[in-house]
Structure 1
């Protein structure tokens, strides 16, 4: 199915908002009656009536014991999934982990909602009240709030894995009930992101490896049923803390008409953030290249130019540094520490540690505790 074709009506196409990039740039804002939050709520409610099904673009199934719905994309539309979870009291969690061969755009209507989004990888463009938006290249957090009714257009770049997590609050009261009480700090934060939202430039917030790790935990949630909702609610609160407390980024989004190619610094920061978020994972250049959408050689050159060391050397040093911290601050067995920092074989870890510090992990631990 081409993106320019309207998908068959299903319980999850309450309003037609999907369009391709050519239609977006040549068209006008659509007349949407249903707000973004109401659409999220409607989709979860419809999944309670029809727990599973399939159409041309996706198949869906109910999750979280009836509080969520997951959409797995058909090959004609893309790979991956999107999930919506109703966390109660006007709070929703939205998760996307997908890649599409063609760029596409989605319109949504907002009125008084507060949206926090953490973009782990991929390219995303956002525009308010007009199709032309600004491109954001991960990793970043975005915060949006506009008390007045407005339309937003989000676009996803082609051939890039898009990993994002959004916490959506129906209104300020929902944000307050979720744990950020009405206060001067709350009012100041909302005024700041409202200013950005109205100027058609997303409020970009720098995120560290801890925030990215929380977002990745949400995407890879190991639970099903009611436990899934409980887990997601806790992680959503944790993620909201990082967004609210984060510093405004000095990096600016680039206008839609500019080149969408990832610059060298962005590639390097993407790779570093991916490594920092989970040292236990294998760091394969080819896998990182496929995820970010550049060649393996580009990754290696960009990382060396940005940080003055090779990717392999950086991973090696970070793993050993983490090992020292775990040896000093925890009672974890040596084998568990080796696995935690990405060594499949404890012997390989011990050899690398001895070569770097001229003592075994056990001797290092003893010296710190004596």
Structure 2
């Protein structure tokens, strides 16, 4: 039996610039199926437990689009996955070589942005959006100034829900009412577009992390189903948190909760920076000022995975990035990530992705 992604590609790689593109362009490219299939052979090749038949005549030509960063800009990609017509999930897993300005198009749209790592700066207000935060902002066609922000150099891992009034109406929601609520209640003071923080963020960020990690867990069409389901969950949870603010004392984090979140984010940054020689849990706990038991429990609660699982997944994502997006020899990649030799790297890649490092590189370059 063919795998579902052989029947109907879940993602198509587009040569067009999609980051900051008008929503109508994304919709048109998805409906027309413009692009080449993304070669995500990342999940182990397992026989599906049951027969699954996809009927392409009942779906758009593609489930979503991917665009890779130009080499001079950085490495990594942005995925745009259609949840329903008029609603997309943006998945950003990239690293920028230098600050990058992004100006959004003139259109009516609401965005919920979940920043798992990295930093953004709003151009007009100078306000920074740091990792571990969730914001909602609304754009309206015909504004005097375009909404723009700057992506700081370094890693950017982010999930964004792009919501049109028509898409929300398709889910039985009033998109105009949501837009007006955000515009009326915003607290960021950015003249170009109202921006409002959503609290509490921890549960929302756990869902975003699961979406980001889905590329390593599922083959194409299975990932598409997973992401669209999690996006619906994310939208529901985000709107529930947004409209509960002010009536629920839990909506505003206590100082202790804020300190704990910052320490967990620091633990995450340390892990990300020490893939070749990671600290033990005891060492990590001392570095961030939390006892070992609390660190293990709260890290899993915040990120939906254990410390060891997060370390292993991050190491393999970085291995894949270096294999696909650089010309480094396998031995150099192995050394950079703390593998004793290239054969150890090869075994780890085969276990995690179900293929060899050389096949990953070949497929990436030929795609």
For structure 1, the residue ranges without an aligned partner over 5 or more in a row are: 1-9, 18-34, 54-63, 252-264, 276-282, 323-339, 345-370
For residues 197 and 219 of structure 2, the distance between their equivalents in structure 1, rounded to whole angstroms, comes to 32
Say if 1:123 and 1:138, in contact at 8 Å, map to a contact too.
yes
Say if 1:79 and 1:99, in contact at 8 Å, map to a contact too.
yes
For residues 178 and 290 of structure 1, the distance between their equivalents in structure 2, rounded to whole angstroms, comes to 43
Higher relative contact order (CA 8 A, sep 6+): 2
- SS of the aligned residue for 1:142 comes to strand
Aligned to 2:355: none
Say if 2:30 and 2:64, in contact at 8 Å, map to a contact too.
yes
How does 1:177-216 map onto structure 2 within 5 Å? 177-181=170-174, 188=181, 191-193=184-186, 198=191, 200=193, 202-216=195-209
Aligned to 1:109: 105
Alignment partner of 1:272 is 2:264:
yes
For residues 50 and 71 of structure 1, the distance between their equivalents in structure 2, rounded to whole angstroms, comes to 10
CA pair 341-14 structure 1, distance change in 2 beyond 3 A:
closer
Aligned to 1:237: 232
Q: Larger radius of gyration, structure 1 or 2?
A: 1
List per-residue Cα deviations over 1:157-214 (Å, max 9, x = no partner): 112x2111111112x2322323535797886456435996646562111243321111
How does 1:204-353 map onto structure 2 within 5 Å? 204-221=197-214, 222-246=217-241, 269-272=261-264, 286-289=270-273, 303-304=288-289, 309-310=290-291, 312-316=292-296, 318=298
Find the partner of 1:157 among 145, 152, 159. Answer: 152
Aligned to 1:40: 26
Question: TM-score, normalised to structure 1's length?
Answer: 0.55
List per-residue Cα deviations over 1:268-316 (Å, max 9, x = no partner): 63442587xxxxxxx7x7424469xxxx9xx878843xxxx34x35324
Question: TM-score, normalised to structure 2's length?
Answer: 0.55
For structure 2, the residue ranges without an aligned partner over 5 or more in a row are: 1-13, 39-59, 246-250, 310-367
| Count of residues in Structure 1 that have an aligned counterpart in Structure 2 | 253
Aligned to 1:173: 166
CA pair 45-82 structure 1, distance change in 2 beyond 3 A:
same
